[in-house]
């Protein structure tokens, strides 16, 4: 078993929390894991990605080879497309559809949508809205993780436990809203995959 995931977004959108939750669950299961992160200039609105690799055998490279990623999980739609060369032919793309516009030449909504429509296997969700409805705008990343969860070879309860553990020190309220976001994302994906 192996899963290779490219996590994508813009600095500050919380892709590293997604990584730490899957990572936490994976370590509990005794899986091998490698996760290459981008540090440094990331806080300043640049693009960020993380190569996240899980397997039941030791993993060689910290970087995912092109064409081998099983999933792209993105909290921003244009950023999702940046990593298409890494997505395998039958790979799946899960992305938020809400753009983060901090550059002048950001593509029009319609062209962006047209590009996403071309992809055979995808889940495109308005994660910002779902998170807002559940009372925590900042938890859109958990909605995205929930939407990706059916495609990560791991029990949903393992991810739920990881969310509870990782957010525990922020209090019960934060844990609950993040769990609700995770659940809502999953339900959406089950219906729309």
Residue 117 makes CB contacts below 8 A (sequence gap 6+) with none
Distance separating alpha carbons of residues 108 and 144, to the nearest angstrom: 22
* CB of 62 vs another protein, minimal distance in Å: 4
Query: Within the chain, how many helices (H) and strands (E) appear?
Result: 7, 6
* CB of 167 vs another protein, minimal distance in Å: 14
Which one of residues 62, 109, 155, 190 is an interface residue with another protein (CB under 8 A)?
62
What residue has token string 């993380």?
50
Distance separating alpha carbons of residues 8 and 75, to the nearest angstrom: 7
**In terms of CB distance, is 11 or 150 closer to another protein?**
11
Q: Is 174 in the site for another protein (CB under 8 A)?
A: no
Displacement of CA 105 from its chain's centroid (Å): 25
32, 58 Cβ separation under 8 angstroms: yes
Q: Is 66 in the site for another protein (CB under 8 A)?
A: yes
Do you know the residue count of the chain? Answer: 193
Q: Is 35 in the site for another protein (CB under 8 A)?
A: yes
Distance separating alpha carbons of residues 91 and 119, to the nearest angstrom: 10
Q: Is 78 in the site for another protein (CB under 8 A)?
A: yes
Q: Which of residues 8-27 bind another protein (CB under 8 A)?
A: 10-11, 23, 27
**In terms of CB distance, is 39 or 191 closer to another protein?**
39
| Choices 57-65, 121-129, 130-138, 180-188 (CB under 8 A): range interacting with another protein | 57-65
Q: Is 165 in the site for another protein (CB under 8 A)?
A: no
- The overall longest dimension of the chain from CA atoms, in Å, is 45
Which one of residues 38, 158, 166, 174 is an interface residue with another protein (CB under 8 A)?
38
Instruction: State the distance between the two ends of the chain, measured CA to CA, in whole angstroms.
Output: 22
Q: Which of residues 89-148 bind another protein (CB under 8 A)?
A: 89, 91, 102-103, 105-107, 111-112, 115
Binding site for another protein (CB under 8 A): 10-11, 23, 27, 32-47, 51, 59-69, 78-79, 81-82, 84-89, 91, 102-103, 105-107, 111-112, 115
């Amino acid at each position: 078993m192996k899963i290779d995931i490219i996590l994508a977004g813009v600095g500050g959108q919380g892709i590293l929390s997604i990584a730490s939750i899957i990572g936490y669950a994976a370590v509990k299961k005794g899986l091998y894991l490698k996760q290459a992160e981008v540090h440094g200039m990331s806080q300043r609105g640049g693009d960020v990605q993380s190569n996240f690799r899980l397997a039941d055998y030791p993993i060689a490279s910290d970087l995912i080879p092109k064409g081998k990623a099983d999933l792209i999980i993105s909290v921003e739609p244009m950023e999702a497309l940046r990593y298409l060369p890494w997505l395998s032919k039958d790979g799946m793309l899960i992305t938020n559809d809400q753009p983060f516009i901090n550059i002048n030449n950001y593509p029009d909504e319609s062209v962006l949508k047209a590009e996403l429509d071309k992809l055979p296997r995808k889940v495109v969700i308005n994660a910002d809205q779902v998170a807002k409805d559940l009372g925590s705008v900042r938890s859109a990343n958990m909605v995205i993780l929930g939407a990706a969860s059916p495609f990560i070879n791991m029990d949903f309860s393992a991810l739920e436990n990881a969310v509870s553990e990782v957010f525990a020190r922020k209090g019960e309220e934060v844990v609950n809203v993040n769990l609700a976001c995770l659940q809502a994302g999953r339900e959406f994906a089950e219906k729309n995959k």
